[in-house]
Amino acid sequence: MTQGTADTEVRRYEDLRPLMALMTGAEKHGPAATSTLDVLWVLYDRVLRVGPGTAGDPERDRFLLSKGHGPMAYYAVLAAKGFLPEEWLPGFGSYDSPLGHHPDRTLVPGVEIGSGSLGHGLPLAVGTALGLRAQGLTGPAVWVLIGDAELDEGSNHEALAYAGSAGLERLHTVVIDNDSATHGWPGGIASRFEAAGWAAVTVDGRDHEALYAAFTAPHPGRPLAVVARVEKKA
């Protein structure tokens, strides 16, 4: 579970939208941001073992945002949890701000990968899980958040198939499903993961208790996929 810095005001879920409202300007991709808000909050508030003071700890959990378009919700959650100063938020997207329209791991504390070019996060998460396994680090969990349309990319199909066959049980994928994928799968997105050897569940992407139960469900010997259904209008 994340821990804020000592001088950071304790923030709640209700504070996130006011924090997001501080970020103005063009190319906000508001719907893309708000579709991830609940998933991000539950992960950082109740699941991930990482905080501002442990962002460089080898034993930390890793969170990779593949769905990097519209990162306002991500920045709001990072600010709420003390990874970055709230004073940065109004400068979102400006020339001299570290908060770009796509997150930059070299500029934003707590960010694990540069993202925004969709379709790369799941392969990177597989590589991260393999790297941790090779180092004998069995404690850290690897989480990656992707959009359903990213599953149209061939690199994701390869990563998905490999992770299941390799039994990467420390790998967790959250798919924001708002019916944006071009192709789709008979039986839904979860069935695609299950066919490749993953444990998979579909939940309401706004229901915090359902998300938490899915995120913490045991899945020995298999990676976990949580499909979070979110209405397109969100």
Q: pLDDT tens, 22-75? A: 998 665 566 677 899 999 999 999 999 999 999 999 999 999 999 887 799 999
The closest alpha carbon to 84, from 108, 55, 112, 106, belongs to: 108
The closest alpha carbon to 205, from 217, 218, 214, belongs to: 214
Phi, psi for residue 151 in degrees, rounded to 5: -75, -5
Instruction: Give the mean model confidence (pLDDT) for residues 158-185.
Output: 90
Listed range (69-73, 166-170, 180-184, 210-214) with the worst mean pLDDT: 180-184
The closest alpha carbon to 78, from 105, 116, 117, belongs to: 105
DSSP state of 227: E
**pLDDT tens per residue across span 195-232:** 999 999 999 999 999 999 999 999 999 999 999 999 86
pLDDT of 7 reads: 47
Specify the pairing of strand 142-147 against strand 224-229: unpaired
Count, residues in the chain:
234
The DSSP secondary structure of 204-231, one letter per residue, reads ETT-HHHHHHHHT---TTS-EEEEEE--
Strand positions, DSSP E, 132-190 = 142-147, 171-177
3-state secondary structure 17-72: HHHHHCCCCCCCCHHHHHCCHHHHHHHHHHHCCCCHHHCCCCCCCEEEECCCCCCH
DSSP state of 139: S
**pLDDT tens per residue across span 62-92:** 999 998 877 999 999 999 999 999 999 999 9
CA 18 from centroid of its chain's CA atoms: 21
State the distance between the two ends of the chain, measured CA to CA, in whole angstroms.
27
